[in-house]
Structure 1
Amino acid sequence: MQQIIQSIVFIVAAILHGITGMGFPMLGTTALAFVMPLSKVVALVALPSLLMSLLVLCSNNKKSFWQEIVYYLKTYQLLAISSVIGSILGVKLLLVLPISWLFVLMASVTLYYSLNGLLGIYKKTKTIQVVANSKNMIIFGLLAGIIGGATNAMSPILLIFLFSETDDKNRIAKASNLCYLLAKIVQIYMLKDQYLLLNNREYGLIFLLTILSIIGLYIGIWLRNKISETVFKQLVFGILFILALKIGYNGFVGVL
């Protein structure tokens, strides 16, 4: 029963990731964190997340795959490099510090950002905007990498910057997934000892969840082309709001 629930969560997370370019690592981590240590969960989710980020980068390309990669690497190189550096620091925090405080911090930022975004859609408040310059690209990449390396939840920090720069759904999805991809490579390398602790059942779980996630991802990518910019933002902010409540609850339980 538990594996069925986890499979459903991963399929839903993959569909949402295909639509919005985010959400799979956070939802996947949350789904497994109830039954495994967080360091093992982060390592387990990193493998399908890496593949999914690569597939997002391969989708809806206006140029060849390598031309797209080169374009986004050049355009967002400071964001990508700083997120990799942040991921290294984040994984180190994951291995040595209690994770509850990171959860509380992440939930606070995510909750504020998602509520502000939802209210901004309905003209109840101004959405958070930052100047899309090189300095902020480095700052937000570094912060996203630290949080993502420690908790698999780098999306909100990246989106604050990307939504300030563009409203293009595909551009947001591809730029964010470039950072996810590089961060997952760092995670997998630094958590390689965790993979030695996985048993055959857990490796089987990775395989099953990866297959289901790929199916869900392509459904989501197809749906992305069918929805408006407003619906896209509503989905992103709505997912972040729900995740913020869940992550905050886990964090406060751990602190108390």
Structure 2
Amino acid sequence: MPPADRPPHRPARAAPGRSAQGRPIALTALVVAGAIALASFVKGSIAFGFPVVATPLLALVLDVKTAVAISLVPNIVMDGVQVCRRGGVLASVRRLLALLVFGLLGMVLGTRLLVVLPPHVALAVLGVFLLAFVGLSAAGLAPRVPPRWERWLSAPVGFLAGILGGVTNVPGTPLVLYFHALGMDKHEFVRAVSLSFLVYKLVQLGATAWYGLLTGPLLLGGVALTVIGLGAFALGLKVQDYLAERTFNRLVLAFLAVLGLWLLARALQ
């Protein structure tokens, strides 16, 4: 006799009040909101660090693709605010144009290398380089780029940052080091970092939408998280305005040291 027909398999539904991963929805929402608020405060205080703080915390309750996609809108809005906050936008665009154009080209190549190059290699190299830079700075031997070199270095630095960004998803780190080495004052540094990140994140937003990672519900979720994050971001901006130049630079170096250790930890996983 032929075997009895089996009922078609149906995926299990999440229990009421729980996410698809089985966690309480209230707990998931609390972790997501807390991650965005903390990342927004850091972003407001030192002009960078949003994805570095937000992504691993969001990944505690969301898959990584969702974590990246849902955090794009808050990041873009905050970068836009910091770019326009003190004027001088057109001057910064002219100054950084070559760096940004070659950075985008580098991201294309870096994304291609991601297919063939083990990401942990690039993460380890970047982490060691970061810690070396911080160590030299702490010893009073911080690398400095003479202003006359900027014209020639911007394109290769942007290209390298783009490649590393394509492989590791942290394109901003080499740029932060470069802007710091140029000796930019606090306001120039904030505007340059935010403008660079804004361009990269807009491209990433288009790419995630094109590949179907950024859906309508995630876009709306990102808008809602932006509203949540703006309060913490505004508080961070007040901290940034209060900080003296020297203290601000020390905070930047401290965060870079933590970032270097985090990259090495990721590389060793």
Q: Which residue of 2 aligns with 1:21?
A: 47
Query: Which amino acid is 1:81 matched to?
Result: V
Query: Is the 8 Å Cα contact of residues 44 and 233 (structure 2) preserved in structure 1?
Result: yes
Query: Is structure 2 residue 232 aligned with structure 1 residue 212?
Result: no
* Aligned counterparts of 1:72 and 1:104: Cα–Cα separation in 2: 31
Give the counterpart letter for 2:253 in structure 1. Answer: F
Match of 1:177 among 170, 194, 201: 194
Aligned position for 2:141? 126
Shift of 1:196: 4.5
CA separation of 1:197 and 1:220: change in aligned 2, threshold 3 A: closer
- Cα distance change on mapping 1:34 and 1:243 into 2, 3 Å: farther
Is the alpha carbon distance of 1:25 and 1:101 closer, same or farther for their aligned partners in structure 2, counting shifts above 3 Å?
same
| Aligned positions of 1:1-256 closer than 5 A | 1-36=27-62, 38-61=64-87, 68-94=88-114, 98-117=118-137, 119=138, 124-131=139-146, 132-196=149-213, 198=215, 200=217, 202-203=218-219, 205-253=221-269
Stretches (4+) displaced over 6 A: none
Q: Is the 8 A contact 1:116 1:125 kept in 2?
A: yes
Distance in 2 separating the partners of 1:29 and 1:230: 29
Residues 219 and 60 of structure 1, relative CA distance in 2, 3 Å threshold: farther
The structure whose Rg is larger is 2
Relative distance call for 1:32 and 1:110 in structure 2 (3 A) is farther
Q: Is the 8 A contact 2:110 2:164 kept in 1?
A: yes
What secondary structure is seen at the aligned counterpart in 1 of 2:86? Answer: coil
**Greater Cα shift, 159-168 or 86-95:** 86-95
Change in Cα spacing, 1:43 to 1:5, as seen in structure 2 (3 Å) is closer
Distance in 2, matches of 1:96 and 1:210, equals 35
Pairwise CA distance, 1:218: 1.9
Deviations 1:206-247 (A, max 9, x none): 234322222222222222111111110111111121122222
CA distance in 1 between partners of 2:259 and 2:171 (Å) = 12
Q: Which runs of 5+ in 2 are unaligned?
A: 1-26
Q: Aligned equivalents of 2:172 and 2:134: distance in 1?
A: 11
Per mean C-alpha deviation after superposition, the further-off stretch among 227-236 and 202-211 is 202-211
Cα displacement (A) at 1:180: 0.8
Shift of the 193–78 alpha-carbon distance from structure 1 to 2, 3 Å rule, reads closer
State the alpha-carbon separation in 2 of the partners of residues 70 and 94 from structure 1: 34
Letter in 2 for 1:186: V
Between the two structures, name the one with larger relative contact order (CA 8 Å, sep ≥ 6): 1
Q: Larger helix proportion, structure 1 or 2?
A: 1
- 2:201 partner amino acid: K
Aligned in 2, Cα 1:94/1:192: closer, same or farther, shift over 3 Å?
farther
Question: TM-score, with normalisation over the residues of structure 1?
Answer: 0.81
C-alpha spacing 1:34/1:155, structure 2 compared with 1 (3 Å): same
- The CA distance in 1 between the partners of 2:249 and 2:268, in whole Å, is 28
